[in-house]
Structure 1
């Protein structure tokens, strides 16, 4: 058995070892005739694109599988490869039935490496990397949004505390209590794994904890009124509801009824034969109009939480007397 580096190097170029290395790296091979537009691919590339093996293909055949939003960009990139000096790389999406994949195409431009009018390159499935990148971007966006919201909330709670106290000591004590309650509410959005068991929260208790920091006199006894039937909320649904209520309360504190001392908020709930319906009704606040057609990050976050995990719906009624939000959730999703 060869042991030294010089003795191992010849093994690198043995055909079977090259194939092993290519398969281990998840690399698939392609060649492209720059005159006839014909493409040749290895069997793994055909499988990657969802095309029957040994089928004669041209770029236009592959183009049918490229995501419509990427198709023109990929066409232009392949056409321009001969003008590119050095290596080129382009990432794009393909659709195989209902499955979406990210592909990275790599090769050599500026006619380098052309043999008898044929260029050579590789395809790599980079779906996992792209999904990880999207996850990081989503997390970064959510964290940025939460930090901005918390700063706005802290400012609003300071204003609320100043209206209901007479001395700096009273204000400091009350503001500390409100910020502590805000911390408890924020914890509900990110529960510690394993800390709770199944459906352990009551809807009324959940709303009480979430809304307590925003009420001049505390939830249920001040300008925030909650009327809900006794029902349990599962751990997963608790996380989603906490996020939704937190976002609505933040917006109300910045723009709606909770932004002024004359405003009031009523939260009611009905649960009969159909879905559980939660109605958020603001009154006594400043006049508001419908938001712009372009939704902010918070609105998108709420909509994704409602329609995604909760499989429910959310409706906004921008009435002159105040915002009314109607949230409908299937009862089986509330208990998960």
Structure 2
């Protein structure tokens, strides 16, 4: 006897009918609990019939049937041709298939997984059957993991570049190998403290820091204790930065400092950096001015991961915008933020 489900001392095989205790009502409850939407596709007329869950999933009022073309109008434009081709090919697919795509429900984007069996398996009266499943949560988690992996890779590369830059800065002011080792260790330790600010703080710590203290701590590893001591100057207004905004702002400052060490004023011994602020209404503007470094030009290539991450952080977390002026004397970065967002 084939494999099956144990019941009353015997096995119910796949070929045997479902026990009478499992009636249509029980099956409907199981389907509803799983969040599954049922569909039937009449392959000759291209008519789709869905249950109430299916129409709810697509954000449509219930009716007896809907055409595939009508459903296609709600598929994300970037996925529409692919989904049409996938459905057309399903009848030739051997075995089970699964196609994931995005649909537009008003301003909301949902991820749908369409599943069924191809090669006309199980077709009844020219009608094929399958399910729709809302997989938005899974897709968002996957996108979050990809973003995290990209950010971690970006940070590791930046840390290696920063370590190289700090070694070069330290070597210019050290008078002996021992002094250089001591200063470099101190810088790397400070960098570790600054790096801690680029992650969320425990909720019981209240406001993260004062704006000036936060920026100063982040930039401390890059200042020169030797002949060019004090080349980084921070003069911003006294205001608190909330714990939610601190991570985003720290990430932005960390990215700007990294770029400066790699390409800008902080890569040169005589380079200077001034960070100031001004307030107008509900907006605080932080200005980052580099001078004395190598000549800089506006990048010709599309923005990299770091630049995109900064823009997304500034607009999303801090409710503002960031602008770059590639002036002859050095880059000037203008960071506009919403004061209320910054204080959260």
TM-score by length of 1: 0.94
* Runs of 4+, deviation exceeding 6 Å: none
Does the CA contact (< 8 Å) of 2:203 and 2:243 recur in 1? no
Distance 2:241 2:127 in 1: 63
Pick aligned residue for 1:246 from 236, 239, 254? 254
Distance 1:70 1:116 in 2: 30
1:44 aligns with 2:53: yes
Does the CA contact (< 8 Å) of 2:37 and 2:51 recur in 1? yes
Q: Aligned-pair distance for 1:21? A: 2.0
Pick aligned residue for 2:223 from 202, 206, 215? 215
Does the CA contact (< 8 Å) of 1:210 and 1:242 recur in 2? yes
Distance 2:229 2:280 in 1: 27
Does the CA contact (< 8 Å) of 1:217 and 1:223 recur in 2? no
Q: Equivalent residue for 2:4?
A: none
1:256 aligns with 2:264: yes
Q: Equivalent residue for 1:266?
A: 274
- Residue 10 of structure 1 aligns to a residue in which SS? coil
Alignment of 1:295-334 (within 5 A): 295-334=303-342
- Residue 295 of structure 2 aligns to a residue in which SS? coil
- Residue 197 of structure 2 aligns to a residue in which SS? helix
Deviations 1:165-219 (A, max 9, x none): 021111110011101111111111114313521x35112211111111011128x
Q: Aligned-pair distance for 1:87? A: 1.4
Q: Aligned-pair distance for 1:271? A: 2.2
Q: Equivalent residue for 1:205?
A: 213
TM-score by length of 2: 0.92
Does the CA contact (< 8 Å) of 1:11 and 1:17 recur in 2? no
Pick aligned residue for 2:177 from 164, 168, 185? 168
Distance 1:110 1:39 in 2: 18
Distance 1:124 1:259 in 2: 53
The aligned length equals: 333
- Residue 30 of structure 1 aligns to a residue in which SS? strand
- Residue 305 of structure 1 aligns to a residue in which SS? helix
1:137 aligns with 2:143: no
Distance 2:12 2:303 in 1: 63
Distance 1:335 1:127 in 2: 32
Q: Aligned-pair distance for 1:139? A: 1.1
RMSD over equivalenced CA pairs, Å: 1.9
Does the CA contact (< 8 Å) of 1:12 and 1:18 recur in 2? no
Q: Equivalent residue for 2:85?
A: 76
Distance 2:86 2:320 in 1: 42
Q: Equivalent residue for 1:230?
A: 238
